[in-house]
Amino acid sequence: MRDIVLVCFILAFFVAAFKRPYFLVLGYIWVDFLQPQKLTYWFLNGAPLALVMAAGAFIYYLMFDQKQRLRLSTVQVLIIIFAFYATVSTFTWAVLFDHAYEKWDWVWKGFLFAVFLPFVLSTRRRVEAALFTMTLSLAAITISGGIKTLLGSGGYGNVSFLVVSNTGLFEGSTLATVSLAFIPVTLWLYRNNSIMKKSMLTLLATAGIIFSMTLVTVGAEARTGLIAGAVLALLLWLGAKRKLLLGAAMVAAVIASIPLLPQSFKDRMSTVKTYDEDVSASTRLAVWAWTIDYVKEHPLGGGFGVYRINSFNVEVKKREGEEGNQDVSTTYIKKNARAFHNSFFEVLGEMGYPGIILYLSILVLGIRTAWSLRGVTTGDPSHDGWYRDLGKMLSISMITYFVGAMFVGIAFQPFYYYLLAVAISAGHLAQRERVANNLETRISVRPPRRARPVPAE
Amino acid sequence: MVDNFALFVSQLMLLVVLWRCVVLPPEDGADEPQRRQYKRPGKAAEKIADQRAKGRRP
């Protein structure tokens, strides 16, 4: 039954694309987020859906869509260079070619699609539709995980989010980070979208989705979620107009929810303070130290999946007795092939110094692109709010995402790059509106040079 | 059961949003598929008549 419904959904994307050519781009985003091929048992299982949708999106764009004259922005060029560098790394010096190839196979598609996305998201409605598709595809997983958490079946590594899998959004820490990062986007959609009129139903749907995104963070019991959640709350509070009201509501929500949190969640979160007693946290520190040593000898990195060759002893401390009179004992545990659990160390280990420079540049320029939307003036005051709020919310999303990325290896997952593509698209749209409203004379990606001050005579 | 419910609710919401995208009038025409530009009907006949008037064989 599920297969039939999902096949109908895919066919609907293709049929609707004859009327709205950008629908296949939405179809690709839907496939990338929801991964319907993993939710089915026969027909779609293992089908190259992403490739089919990507090819369809590109062909429909070339044949039917109106093309905008766009220049690639610096950050898009950097993403292309990063994809090229990852390709060269995979096929030349990757230590474990099979593992590297497996990861490269989905990385390059996500990167190139993120570069392609701004060409298609050429109207404000398309931007909204793309964000709706991302949010509601994610919501399928968060609603499922949220209900299971409420029913008491959460737990680190125990709860199944729609499907039992440890990849993509179905992995607990990744889901917690991405869910938190999409809360600002969901809020923005409710406040600014032109597709669905504001009503009690849309308010309830928005509240329900945001609640499920929060619940799934608790259900995943990932420490990533606690830290990224705190940063998200702080950023939302800083960006809010009614700080006192929002602050009071947040504090009340936290106080009210603490007794309801499962004991396993509290136990796991308490290990943030005593990280050296926890094997998982100590292993991460050991992996990061191994990565730094590895790139000293291999400055270009070891290719995707290089962490599988690591082997080290993890120092774990155990404290007994009361504070001030504690007996600390240290034990060493042998660990092999431990994942990076940090996006920055993931890039450093796999792509080396050139990779981390590219990644950090993309990260900084991406947040700058979103941040710059906060001051947009299009010449039409009724439109300015749309861009400014989008800029603020995308900035918060990206920062939250990167805080979470410090505890989970999601550097090559496409979610951040899609948010970045949306920010680039919005920048192009704002510029086009400025030209239409005679605030700017020509379409140009680069900002106009400042006139040099004339020296006083 | 829970999974199917979550899938149904979220995808129903997505379906409504996408349906609205199809039925709403395009913002500035950019959502409409590009149509091929055909020559004006009768243009060939006009050309022949014009050449005849000038005394040339079409």
Which of A129-138, A163-172, A375-384, B42-51 has the least mean pLDDT? B42-51
B12 touches chain A (CB under 8 A): no
Chain A residue with CA closest to B14: the answer is A136
DSSP calls for A357-374: HHHHHHHHHHHHHHHHGG
State residue A48's pLDDT score.
83
CA A180/CA A210 separation, integer angstroms: 9
Q: In degrees rounded to 5, what are phi and psi of residue A358?
A: -60, -45
pLDDT confidence bin for B37, thresholds 50/70/90? low
Q: Which of B4, B6, B24 sits opposite A195 (nearest CB)?
A: B24
pLDDT confidence bin for A136, thresholds 50/70/90? very high
Q: In degrees rounded to 5, what are phi and psi of residue A311?
A: -160, 125
- In this predicted structure, the answer to whether residue A157 has a pLDDT above a threshold of 70 is no
In this structure, what DSSP letter does residue A455 have?
P
CA A186/CA A166 separation, integer angstroms: 25
A102: part of which helix (H) or strand (E)? helix A97-120
State residue A251's pLDDT score.
86
* Residue numbers in A near B10 (CB within 8 A): 136-137, 139-140, 143
Q: Backbone dihedral region of B29: left (phi > 0), alpha (psi from -120 to 50 degrees) or beta?
A: left
State residue A319's pLDDT score.
73
In angstroms, what separates the C-alpha of B43 from chain A's closest C-alpha? 26
* Residue numbers in B near A63 (CB within 8 A): 34
State residue A36's pLDDT score.
86
CB contacts < 8 A, A to B, total 96
What integer best gives the mean pLDDT of chain A? 86
> A394: exposed, middle or buried (C-beta count within 10 Å: 0-12, 13-18, 19+)?
buried
- In this predicted structure, the answer to whether residue A158 has a pLDDT above a threshold of 80 is no
Determine whether the interchain pair B34/A65 forms a contact, defined as Cβ–Cβ distance below 8 Å: yes
In angstroms, what separates the C-alpha of A162 from chain B's closest C-alpha? 5
Chain A residue with CA closest to B16: the answer is A196
Choosing among A153, A162, A186, which should be mutated to test the B contact, i.e. which has the most B CBs within 10 A?
Answer: A162
B25: part of which helix (H) or strand (E)? none
State residue A425's pLDDT score.
94
What's the token pair of residue A3? 């297969």
State residue A269's pLDDT score.
67
Q: Which of A12, A139, A196 sits opposite B10 (nearest CB)?
A: A139
Which of A23-37, A135-149, A249-263, A403-417 has the least mean pLDDT? A249-263
pLDDT confidence bin for A445, thresholds 50/70/90? very low
* Chain A positions with Cβ closer than 8 Å to B: 2, 5, 9, 12, 16, 18-23, 26, 30, 39, 63-66, 122-126, 129, 132-133, 136-137, 139-141, 143-144, 147-148, 151, 162-163, 195-196, 205
Chain A residue with CA closest to B20: the answer is A195
Contacts of A147 (CB under 8 A, 6+ apart): A212, B2, B5, B6
Which of A45-49, A275-279, A402-406 has the least mean pLDDT? A275-279
- In this predicted structure, the answer to whether residue A252 has a pLDDT above a threshold of 90 is no
- Per-residue pLDDT averaged across A116-137, rounded? 94
Determine whether the interchain pair A144/B7 forms a contact, defined as Cβ–Cβ distance below 8 Å: yes
pTM: 0.85
